[in-house]
Amino acid sequence: MSITLAIVEDLDEVRDGLKNFISLSQDFRVLDIFKTAEDAVIGLPKLKPDIVIMDISLPGMNGIECIRQVKDKSPRTQFMMFTVYENDEKVFEALKAGASGYLLKNTGLVQLIESLKELHNGGSPMSANIARKLVTLFRNEQRETAKLEILSNRENEILQLLSKGLLYKEIADQLSISVSTVRQHIHHIYEKLHVQNRTEAINKAFGKK
């Protein structure tokens, strides 16, 4: 049985090129194509294709918001992002919205076909540099978590209040402890994080640039 597919892409040459190439494969059947997310939000839940190839940059509503609106209405449909965007924000926003794959538009068409099959079989195909971004983010988050785990609950609490700009006395009042106790906790925080001041502690703990 063919894998059913829909394409959401505003550029005629890209959309038609995808449709024509994919239609050459006996493994796929293109049900419909959409130029806008607004049309796709109406059409996709009726079609319930196995896979949707989704661009992000569309006139009006973007592809990520389109996924959010369609996902609940067609839960079995899988979304493959096919876009020029490779910045972290777009990648993670798309994945959080419900995309299962993320390919850049410089991906070869033969590779695209293989990736669509992989997606249908339960995989999460991604362009190599997108996958690297995810691995790097995961490692960074692990490191940040490890930094905070070496602090006690009270020290983490004080560090959070420091990050909000509170003064020592304000922290002491909020936690019902003395200012000297606050200073002692902050001294321990600096020692554990190997920093010299409030700004360095906040930057190191929360990854602020």
- Side-chain-side CA neighbours of 24 within 13 Å: the count stands at 8
Domain ranges of the chain: 3-131, 141-206
Mean pLDDT of 149-169: 87
pLDDT at residue 39 above 70?
Answer: yes
61 or 139, which is more confident? 61
Are the beta carbons of 27 and 2 closer than 8 angstroms?
yes
Residue 9's CB is within 10 A of a number of other CB atoms, namely: 26
- Name the superfamily (CATH) of residues 3-131: Response regulator (3.40.50.2300)
CA distance 159 to 96: 29
pLDDT recorded at residue 145:
58
Q: Are 66 and 79 in contact (CB under 8 A)?
A: no
Those residues whose C-beta lies under 8 Å from the C-beta of residue 111, and which sit 6 or more positions away, are: 103
**How confident is the model at residue 137, as a pLDDT?**
64
CA distances from 44 to 13, 80, 132, 150, 173 (A): 21, 14, 31, 48, 56
Residue with tokens 């293989």: 114
Residues 88-101: pLDDT tens digits? 778 888 888 999 99
141-206 CATH, one of 1.10.10.920, 1.20.210.10, 3.30.1490.190, 1.10.10.10: 1.10.10.10
Predicted local distance difference test score (pLDDT) of residue 193: 85
pLDDT the model gives residue 128: 78
Is the distance from CB of 184 to CB of 191 less than 8 angstroms?
Answer: no
Q: What phi and psi values does residue 47 have, to the nearest 5 degrees?
A: -80, -35
Confidence of residue 209 (pLDDT cuts 50, 70, 90): very low
> Is residue 120 over pLDDT 60?
yes
User: Per residue in 3-25, pLDDT tens?
Assistant: 999 999 999 999 999 999 999 99
- Residue 191 CB partners (closer than 8 Å, separation 6+): none
Work out the mean pLDDT of the chain and round it to a whole number.
88
Rounded Cα–Cα distance for residues 81 and 68 (Å): 13
- Model pTM score: 0.65
Q: What is the pLDDT of residues 177-189, one digit of tens each?
A: 999 999 999 999 8
